[in-house]
Amino acid sequence: MPPGDGSRDPGITMWGATSTGKTTFLAALSIALMRQKAQWRVGGTDQASVDRLTELTTRLTADRLFPSATQGVEHYNWELIGTVRRAGQRRWRWLTPTYYDESVRIPLHLIDAPGEAADRSKARGNSVLWDGLLGNMVDSRGIVFFYDPVREFTNGDAFTHTVGVLNELSQRMRSAPGGRLPHYVSVCIAKFDEIKILETADKLGLLEYDLDPPGFPRVPDDEAREFFAQLCTRSDSGDAEMALTLLEQTFWPERIRFFVTSAIGFYVDPHLRMYDRDNYQNHLPPEDENEPEPRPARIRGPVYPINVVEPILWLGKSMAGESGE
C-alpha cells in the first residue's frame, strides 16, 4: 500500500526538522494522560503499535532515555479511548434532559517521519524518505508541526524546512477546495523546558503558573501564537517569521492551533513534588566520550509532559467531527 495513493485511513503526520522531539512527544502521550488522571487513555490497535507504545513509554519512564532517532517513516496505529457525556432523548419537552456517558474511541493513525525527510536540499538523492513523508502528508488530515526554538537559535532553518514541504504538498494537492490545504494543524512550540525558551517566555510576560501542584509555568494556549511570533523575530536568520505567514497562508487559519509544549516537562524533586524555578532542568546532556562508559542524553527525573495531550486530542476530535463520527 504505497503512501499517497489515498488508500490508507486518514492519519496524523508528525512533521518537523531533525531532533525537534517528534518521537519523544509521542512517547510522552501515554504518560501525559496518566499524569492528568484524565478520562482518556491511549492504546494500540495492532500488535506492532502496542509494542512500540510500550517500548517508547518504558524508555522515557523506567530507562529515563530519549527515543532513538527515527529512521524510516514509522506508522503507529493508536487510539484515544475515553468517555464523553451526551444528552439523552427527552420524552417530554419540558423535562430536563438526562445525560449518559458514552465510551468513545478516537483513532490516531500517527506517522512519525525522520526529520531528514523534510530536508530535501541536504539529503541529496534521498527521495525515498522525501516521498514517504509527502505521500503520508497527502493521506493525512492532521499535522503536528514541531518548531524547535533552540534549533532555530543555532541553525535558523525553520523557514527552509517549511517552505520546501509546503510547496511540494500544495503542488500534490492542487485540487484542494479554496486553494488551501484541508489539514488541521497543531503547531507545537517544543522544548518549553529548555532554559532559553522559558526565559524568553518569562521576559515576554507570557508565563502563568498552575495553581495545582507541582505549580508548573505555562504559556496559555491563547498566547501561544503570539509566543511563536515573538520567537520567530528572535531567529538569527530573520526568515522564521515567514514560516508563520506561510503556514497561515497554506492552511485554513481556523484549522491551525498553537501549543507551547514540553514532552519531558520540568524537573520535580520526587520528595518535594514542587516546581523549583532554580532547579527545573530535566534534560541531562550526554556524558563526555572520554568517560569510561559514556551515557547518552538522559532525563533527570520523572516525566511531566506539558501540552502533549492537547494538540493530539484537538486534532483527533476535529478530524472525527469532520468525518461525522
CA 279 → CA 138, 190, 195, 274, 300, distances in Å?
A: 43, 20, 11, 10, 11
Residue 288 CB: number of other CB atoms within 10 A?
Answer: 7
Q: Give whichever of 55 and 199 is closer to other proteins, judged by the CB atom.
A: 55
Residue 85 makes contact with other proteins by CB under 8 A? no
Give per-residue burial for 192-224: e unless 16+ CB within 10 Å, then b: bbbeebbebbeeeebbeeeeeebebbbbeeebb
C-alpha cell at 267: 524537573
238 contacts other proteins (rule: CB under 8 A): no
CB 149 → other proteins: shortest distance, Å?
15
From 1-9, 169-177, 179-187, 250-258, give the range in contact with other proteins by CB under 8 A. Answer: 1-9
How far is the CA of 308 from the CAs of 92, 243, 280, in angstroms? 43, 22, 18
Under the criterion CB under 8 A, does residue 171 sit at the interface with other proteins?
no
Q: Is residue 26 within 8 Å of residue 76, measured between CB atoms?
A: yes
- Least distance to other proteins from the beta carbon of 289, Å? 4
Amino acid at 148: D
- For residue 69, state whether it binds other proteins (rule: CB under 8 A): yes
Stretch in the footprint of other proteins (CB under 8 A) among 27-35, 63-71, 196-204, 235-243:
63-71
Q: Minimal distance in Å, beta carbon 313 to other proteins?
A: 22
| Binding letters toward other proteins, positions 287-306, x by CB under 8 A | --xxx-xx-xxx--------
Grid cell digits, residue 36: 492528568
Question: Under a CB-based contact definition with an 8 Å cutoff, are residues 133 and 123 in contact?
Answer: no
Backbone angles phi, psi at 158, to 5 degrees: -60, -45
Give which of 185, 188, 193 is closest to 262, Cα–Cα: 193
- Nearest approach, Cβ of 96 to other proteins (angstroms)? 36
Minimum Å gap between C-beta 172 and other proteins is 17
- DSSP letter (8 states) at residue 288: P
Q: What does the buried/exposed string (b/e) look like for 251-274 if buried means 16 or more CB atoms within 10 Å of the residue's CB? A: beeebbbbbbbbbbbbbbeeeeee
121 touches other proteins (CB under 8 A): no
Considering only 132, 149, 217, 302, the residue that binds other proteins (CB under 8 A) is 132
Q: Applying CB under 8 A, which of residues 46, 202, 269, 325 lies at the interface with other proteins?
A: 46
Residue 269 contacts other proteins per CB under 8 A = no
Q: Which of 13, 60, 75, 240 binds other proteins (CB under 8 A)?
A: 75
Q: Provide the binding-site residues for other proteins, judged by CB under 8 A.
A: 1-3, 17-19, 46-49, 51-52, 55, 66, 68-77, 114-116, 119, 122-129, 132, 151, 285-286, 289-291, 293-294, 296-298
